[in-house]
Amino acid sequence: PRPILLTRHGESQDNVRGRIGGDSVLSDLGNIYSKKLANFVEKRLKSERTASIWTSTLQRTIITATPIVGFPKVQWRALDEINAGVCDGMAYEEIKRNMPEEYQSRKNDKLRYRYPRGESYLDVIQRLEPVIIELERQRAPVVVISHQAVLRALYAYFADKPLKEIPHIEVPLHTIIEIQMGVTGVQEKRYKLMD
Ligand code: F6P
């Protein structure tokens, strides 16, 4: 069996401000996580001959990967966070106040709701297809450092969760989800590296 490690980037400055999307750098806590993650990966993959680190093209995932050394890194645009279109950079409260209809439509059908000029969860699921094909093809472990919506979709694929649950799956910050692909099926472990 070979592990796939899924994690969100360390806490970002936009996470602290409660803003969605954007391309901010990490908070102090987020930077601490990046070091703890590197430590964890080093120990966990010590006995592996090869492995690779996949990030999105957004700063917060690339910075989170920086302390990890000794493995090749690949940036995937398909691992970028859900595109919130006209709502990019807003807080949920602001969307609720300024665009109540958009807010309500998303609440009614979070899976299918597409942000104006942005994406829906279904769009994200579709663009992840090449990533999943490549993940399935890999023989060595892969560490995927990405974002909440994207990781919900990836996790759902491996854990075989129904579509309608995807937008509501819990993928907390500073936690590693380890998926083991074995002959008997998929096993999962979660490691919370910080409180
Ligand atoms: O808040 C962090 C974040 O990654 C945003 O950038 C993104 O829009 C959001 O989470 C996705 O989660 P949800 O679909 O629950 O709004």
- Supply the pTM of this predicted model: 0.98
Backbone phi, psi, residue 181, to 5°: -95, 105
Does 81 qualify as catalytic in the annotation? yes
Residue 71 C-alpha to ligand 1 middle, in angstroms? 28
Return the H-helix or E-strand segment holding 43. Answer: helix 28-44
The tens digit of pLDDT for each residue in 137-157 reads: 999 999 999 999 999 999 999
- Of 51, 4, 20, the closest CA to residue 147 belongs to 20
- Pick the catalytic residue from 11, 81, 119, 178: 81
Does 8 qualify as catalytic in the annotation? yes
Give how far the C-alpha of residue 144 lies from the chain's centroid of Cα atoms, to the nearest Å.
Answer: 7
Cα separation of 144 and 86, whole Å? 27
The tens digit of pLDDT for each residue in 87-146 reads: 999 999 999 999 999 999 999 999 999 999 999 999 999 999 999 999 999 999 999 999
C-alpha pair distances (Å), 37 with each of 25, 60, 78, 124: 17, 14, 22, 26
C-beta of 20 in contact with ligand 1 (< 6 A) = yes
